[in-house]
Amino acid sequence: MTYFNTSLEDVKLLKKEDYPEKGNTKSKMRDDLDALIKELDIKDGASISFHHHLRNGDRVLVQVMRAIQRAGIKDLTLVASSIFPSMAEIVELLEDETITNIVTSYISGPVGEAVSKGKLKGSIIMQSHGGRARAILADEVEIDFAFIAAPSSDQRGNISGVNGINSCGAMGYAISDARKGKTTIAVTDYLTAYPNYPADITEDYIDYVLQIDSIGEKAGIVSGTTMITKDPVGLKIAQDTLKAMIATGLVKDGLSFQTGAGGISLAVADYLRTYMLENDIKGSFASGGITGYLVDMLEEGLFEALFDVQCFDLKAVESIGKNKNHLRMSGSQYGNPDVSCVVDNLDIVILGATEIDTDFNVNVTTGSHGMLMGGSGGHQDTAFGSKVSIIVSKLFSSRIPFIKDRVDVITTPGNTVDILVTERGISINPLRKDLIEKFEKAKVKTIDIHDLKKYAEDVMGVPKKIEKTDRIIGLSQSRTGDILDYIYQVK
């Protein structure tokens, strides 16, 4: 406190004529995107952030970036929590150098391909969801302008994800942007009376409210698989995964659980549900991106609460508006390694993988031919925080081999990946001697990951190395800020 170091006699009093005029009546409302971009006076080289809660239905990122392009501003860093196929137009903005750097946690579709092909002048940094919150809150990633797609807002910027025609439910990934964005703009197509509630972001975090015709299509929130697999191979893996979970000893009262929205993962949740009902087990919480399957389990009393950072389907959106124990969480509360966070309290997480290697490193960042087609999302965070992380995958699901000596890109370090369940057996990370013992006691058969790899190669042949150029186009960052791997331009 300044005044403690000075003699109070020397402190000057504010003169009557200098008292600030009563009332803050400055309007935040704007209704012309191009005029606002001009008013914001965005400089070349600035960083612009977006959240992805409308997922493939988002139309805010493209509209705003197009307006910035029209204004002739160049060399921007795009800090988007995720980038979806619907944002294909952004490729043109890489080509004309409107955007020259990208920081994101997930990228799929044409923009990912364009980046992989070298169309981004600068580089791409791939972060986990928790790592993104950490980097923003720690001022490692600075945000000059945060454009926050708002399913509803009042004139003062109280934003709610549950009201509006394009309600997306939770808005966890936008919280760090709202807190740290030097200028923050709520972009909405649904203006409410003051006060808009329940607010995910309150007016004290918002500088402008821009009203536009449409922020997107709510139906696009449901992207990727959000249905239980019907494939018998997938169902077998899910059944074996439940067996593995039980063998860990963690499936009991107080269980905390997370699973993604992939077909096998959802089947695991479904088998778990039946097992918990039959054995009268009451869990503590489920977390992550939330699906209707987890909402059902909440409403059946199988979990005490849900921690929801983003809604994966419309049933989850509906639930967060009505269920008191369907809790919102920010990206930081979810997985920021600088603080204590929800992933630290997780017993079991079920995760997918594009590739895994014999050190249990997982790649969910690049796909066939080394093309960017994903990213950590919460993968790294939950693998680290959980007592047991389980990768579920078919051994033979595409032309790409699943188990390798070294994954193309390390998304999640192997020392945090504990169990792999495939249709041809369960492998345990040799670091987890405790689990190996437990599985022996429980008489659940396991197989060394090298043997599993050999089996796959016997069937499929030894994979060819992915051919790439020697130009590094980006980095796979660990949630704590270190760099796990390079990402190369593809041929």
- Binding positions for its own copies, 348-367, rule CB under 8 A: 359
How far is 175 from 331, CA to CA, in rounded Å?
7
Nearer of residues 5 and 458 to its own copies, judged by Cβ: 5
Closest approach of its own copies to the CB of residue 410, in Å: 9
Write the CA distances from 81 to 45, 76, 106, 241, integer angstroms: 19, 16, 7, 30
Residue among 106, 271, 293, 384 that touches its own copies (CB under 8 A):
384
Nearer of residues 8 and 464 to its own copies, judged by Cβ: 8
Query: Considering the rule CB under 8 A, would residue 123 count as an interface residue with its own copies?
Result: yes
Going through 247-330 in order, the beta strands assigned E by DSSP cover 256-259, 283-290, 303-311, 326-328
Query: Considering the rule CB under 8 A, would residue 23 count as an interface residue with its own copies?
Result: yes
Closest approach of its own copies to the CB of residue 11, in Å: 5
How far is 201 from 31, CA to CA, in rounded Å?
20
Residue among 37, 206, 320, 356 that touches its own copies (CB under 8 A):
206
Q: Which residue has the tokens 């980046």?
A: 115
Residue among 146, 342, 351, 426 that touches its own copies (CB under 8 A):
342
Closest approach of its own copies to the CB of residue 326, in Å: 10
Query: Considering the rule CB under 8 A, would residue 1 count as an interface residue with its own copies?
Result: yes
Nearer of residues 61 and 135 to its own copies, judged by Cβ: 135
The two most distant CA atoms of the chain are separated, in Å, by: 87
Closest approach of its own copies to the CB of residue 284, in Å: 6
Q: Helix, strand or coil for residue 460?
A: helix
Residue among 275, 396, 455, 486 that touches its own copies (CB under 8 A):
486
Closest approach of its own copies to the CB of residue 193, in Å: 7
- Binding positions for its own copies, 72-111, rule CB under 8 A: 77, 101, 103
- Binding positions for its own copies, 466-485, rule CB under 8 A: 472-475, 478, 480, 482-485
- Binding positions for its own copies, 209-238, rule CB under 8 A: none
Do the beta carbons of residue 348 and residue 395 sit within 8 Å? no
Query: Considering the rule CB under 8 A, would residue 275 count as an interface residue with its own copies?
Result: no
How far is 341 from 172, CA to CA, in rounded Å?
13
- Binding positions for its own copies, 403-462, rule CB under 8 A: 413-416
Nearer of residues 34 and 299 to its own copies, judged by Cβ: 299
Which amino acid is located at 204 in the chain?
A: D
The encoded tokens of residue 448 equal 């060394």
Nearer of residues 259 and 416 to its own copies, judged by Cβ: 416
Nearer of residues 18 and 458 to its own copies, judged by Cβ: 18
In terms of phi and psi (left: phi > 0; alpha: psi -120 to 50; beta: otherwise), the region of 52 is alpha
Do the beta carbons of residue 164 and residue 189 sit within 8 Å? yes
Query: Considering the rule CB under 8 A, would residue 385 count as an interface residue with its own copies?
Result: yes
Query: Considering the rule CB under 8 A, would residue 139 count as an interface residue with its own copies?
Result: no
- Binding positions for its own copies, 308-337, rule CB under 8 A: 324-325, 327, 329-330, 332-333, 336-337
Query: Considering the rule CB under 8 A, would residue 345 count as an interface residue with its own copies?
Result: yes
Query: Considering the rule CB under 8 A, would residue 243 count as an interface residue with its own copies?
Result: no
Residue among 32, 34, 43, 195 that touches its own copies (CB under 8 A):
195
Q: Helix, strand or coil for residue 421?
A: strand
Q: How many residues bind its own copies (CB under 8 A)?
A: 87
User: Interface with its own copies by CB under 8 A: which range of 83-91, 134-142, 294-302, 369-377?
Assistant: 134-142
Nearer of residues 106 and 285 to its own copies, judged by Cβ: 285
316 φ/ψ angles, rounded to the nearest 5 degrees:
-65, -40
How far is 126 from 248, CA to CA, in rounded Å?
32
Instruction: Select from 284, 208, 274 the least CA-distant residue to 239.
Output: 274
Q: Measure CA of the first residue to CA of the last residue in the chain; give whole Å.
A: 59
Instruction: Select from 295, 313, 324, 55 the least CA-distant residue to 198.
Output: 324
Closest approach of its own copies to the CB of residue 397, in Å: 27
How far is 441 from 421, CA to CA, in rounded Å?
18
Query: Considering the rule CB under 8 A, would residue 113 count as an interface residue with its own copies?
Result: no
How far is 108 from 185, CA to CA, in rounded Å?
26
How far is 146 from 153, CA to CA, in rounded Å?
15
* Site string (30-69) toward its own copies, x via CB under 8 A: -----------------x----------------------
Quick one: three-class SS letters along 20-87?
A: CCCCCCCCCEECCHHHHHHHHCCCCCCEEEECCCCHHHECHHHHHHHHHHHCCCCCEEEEECCECHHH
Closest approach of its own copies to the CB of residue 228, in Å: 27
